[in-house]
Amino acid sequence: MRAITFLTDFGAGSPYPAAMKAVVLGIAPDVRLVDLTHEVAPQDVQEGAFVLWSVARDFPEGTVHCAVVDPGVGTERRGLILIAGGQLFVGPDNGLLDPAARALGEPRAFSIRSKRYLRERISYTFHGRDVFAPVAAHLARGVPPDAIGEPLDDWVRLEVDFQGGRWDPQAHAWVGQVIYVDRFGNAVTNIPTRQLAGRISFDRPVELRWGTKAERLVLKLRRSYGYAERGEVALIPGSHDLLEISVREGSARRALGLRVNDPVRLKPL
């Protein structure tokens, strides 16, 4: 029994996710339906891409991911199928699917073409229901991607590299950027925690500079939130194997004004 996951910016309280599921069940009634989230910030393709990237690797082969964060709905942007690591990704060709698929291997890509696998009437504003949900259902039933679409190699790649932070030997510092801020206000950077080995240890001071004004703060690397003092700003090796800037029982977003795409630099002292 295959699973189909859903990720959207529609909102959990809206009727739109249910409409997509209704279409899927009409085509593949035995499939398992899994909600990743419907709370992606409206039109925020990068946030949706990060969430999909962070969880897709934990799903088994054969999973179909139906992701819809689609500011270009109703325009000439393509519908996309990506296949990598035995998993399939369906959604708009706007960078949303790209990081998760590439994290599993070198993707094969198809643009959605055949109307046979879409709903008869297609709304200009709801391709999640009329295009992507039925395609995901047919893929879950075993319809091959090349029956639904045509191969392509120029799908949209997301410009942000979720693991693109690096050690700069000239500055003797890690340089990267904030790529995601969660509901607790933890600022996730794209600096992989594996880069810390040999250059910093727990409870030792690090200079943090962030934002366009390169504001400065000295803080420490802690093993987890519980090892920091209440209200302390700290560096935490996060569950995504990325370094996070956090405030115990507080919000780094509020305390430091951190925003997605802010540059960060971390220098051991």
> CATH 2.40.30.90 region(s) of the chain?
166-268
Inter-residue contact 152 to 162 (CB < 8 Å):
no
Quote helix, strand, coil % in the chain, to nearest 5. Answer: 25, 30, 45
Selection from 89, 84, 86, 90 nearest residue 106 by Cα: 84
The pLDDT of residue 197 is 79
Selection from 72, 63, 70 nearest residue 36 by Cα: 63
Mean pLDDT of 158-166: 94
| 60 secondary structure, DSSP code | P
> CATH 3.40.50.10790 region(s) of the chain?
3-152
pTM for this predicted structure: 0.94
CB atoms within 10 A of CB 214: 10
Find the DSSP H helices in 9-120: 16-27, 45-56, 98-104
Mean pLDDT of 49-57: 97
Give the pLDDT confidence of 222-261 residue by residue, as tens digits: 999 999 999 999 999 999 999 999 999 999 999 999 999 9
Using pLDDT thresholds of 50, 70 and 90, give the confidence band for residue 195: confident
215 or 249: which carries more pLDDT confidence? 249
Cβ burial of 97 (10 Å; 0-12, 13-18, 19+) is buried
Give the pLDDT confidence of 101-111 residue by residue, as tens digits: 999 999 999 99
197 or 169: which carries more pLDDT confidence? 169
Report whether pLDDT(215) > 90: no
DSSP 30-45: T-EEEEEES-SPTT-H
Run of H or E including 215: strand 215-221
The Cα-based distances of 251 to 163, 211, 218, 238, 260 in angstroms read 23, 17, 17, 15, 14
The pLDDT of residue 214 is 72
Report whether pLDDT(117) > 90: yes
Cβ burial of 232 (10 Å; 0-12, 13-18, 19+) is middle
Which one of 1.10.150.570, 2.40.50.140, 3.40.50.300, 3.40.50.10790 gives the CATH number of domain 3-152? 3.40.50.10790
CATH of domain 166-268: 2.40.30.90
Inter-residue contact 235 to 245 (CB < 8 Å):
yes
| 132 secondary structure, DSSP code | I
The pLDDT of residue 200 is 85
Give the pLDDT confidence of 12-47 residue by residue, as tens digits: 999 999 999 999 999 999 999 999 999 999 999 999
- Between CA 76 and CA 92 the distance in angstroms is 11
Mean pLDDT of 185-201: 90
